[in-house]
Amino acid sequence: MAGQNIIGGINRSNVQRIVKTKAEGSNYIGVGDNLLDFGAEKSFLKEDGCGKIFSFNLTNSSTEEDVKLALFPGNFEEGSSYLDDCSVVADGEVGENLICKGNPEQIDAIMSYLKANPSRLRAIKVKADNESQLDFPIIYRNVNPFHGKVDQKRIPAQYQRSGDNNTKVIELTDINWLLGPNNLLMTTVGRGRTVVISLVFGASLDTEMGLQKKADEALANACALGYPVQ
């Protein structure tokens, strides 16, 4: 897709640095990195199998108005110009007509986690009650105070394939987006529509878990070296 600028999930701008590092003897693939959470996997080699999926169940009861919605607002508050007049997703009723529910946990759990632990978004699954919902784009926005904002857009309807048994279920797999404090994910829920949008995550930079792992490693090393451990 235009603007993706990646090779197998790696930014082209990083290729030269990666090649140089490899030439210097690094075999880094993420295994054993205390700061990373791969879920069910252990490295970037099988990142798409992490099993970290969060779903938004969204219902717009209005028969007259579409609802613009931020599935993830980063650290930007509702009303920020970067949100393009979107409401921010939350558990329960949003505005007058939108009902939202998270799965497997409440929505504020994923909001809190992503703001503290930047995570790689590897795929998006969309299940709609009507094909018209698939015409609304999903917009990813990166905001940088020095370089401005950059948007990438995916329209689920463009991923429909002839011969699909269920044309109301779409999976977007050409995703290589980071969700963290400076990133937003936005879409629109059409009037009268119900849609489930599932975010499939790869690696997360989990500093809280990493701190505990480093402490455990340090204590294990201390014991191996014969130091007294309290």
Q: Dihedral, CA atoms, 216, 218, 221, 226, nearest 10 degrees?
A: -110
Tell whether 230 is covered by a domain: no
- What pLDDT score does 54 carry? 98
SS3 86: coil
Q: How many domains does the chain have?
A: 1
Q: Which helix (H) or strand (E) holds 139?
A: strand 138-144
Tally of CB atoms within 10 A around 221: 11
Tell whether 66 is covered by a domain: yes
Residues 154, 56: Cα–Cα separation, whole Å = 17
Tell whether 163 is covered by a domain: yes
pTM: 0.85
Handedness of CA 13, 185, 200, 66 (dihedral sign): negative
Tell whether 95 is covered by a domain: yes
Which residues are paired to 93 by β-bridges? Answer: 99
Tell whether 108 is covered by a domain: yes
- Between vectors from CA 202 to CA 134 and to CA 91, what angle results, nearest 5°? 55
- What domain range is 173 assigned to? 6-224
Tell whether 229 is covered by a domain: no
Tens of pLDDT along the chain (230 residues)? 444 455 455 566 665 665 665 555 568 899 988 899 999 999 999 999 999 999 999 999 999 999 999 999 999 998 999 999 999 999 999 999 999 999 999 999 999 999 999 999 999 999 999 999 999 999 999 999 999 999 999 999 999 887 677 789 999 999 999 999 999 999 999 999 999 999 999 999 998 888 888 888 888 888 888 887 76
Tell whether 203 is covered by a domain: yes
188, 69 contact by CB (below 8 A): yes
Tell whether 1 is covered by a domain: no
154, 115 contact by CB (below 8 A): no
217, 34 contact by CB (below 8 A): yes
Q: Of 45, 47, 68, give the one whose Cα is nearest residue 123.
A: 47
The answer for 142, left when phi > 0, alpha when psi is -120 to 50, beta otherwise, is beta
- What pLDDT score does 1 carry? 45
The token pair that represents 171 in the structure block:
């999976």
3-state DSSP helix/strand/coil % of the chain, to nearest 5: 25, 35, 40
Determine the length of the chain: 230
Residue 104, preceding peptide bond in cis (omega within 30° of 0) = yes
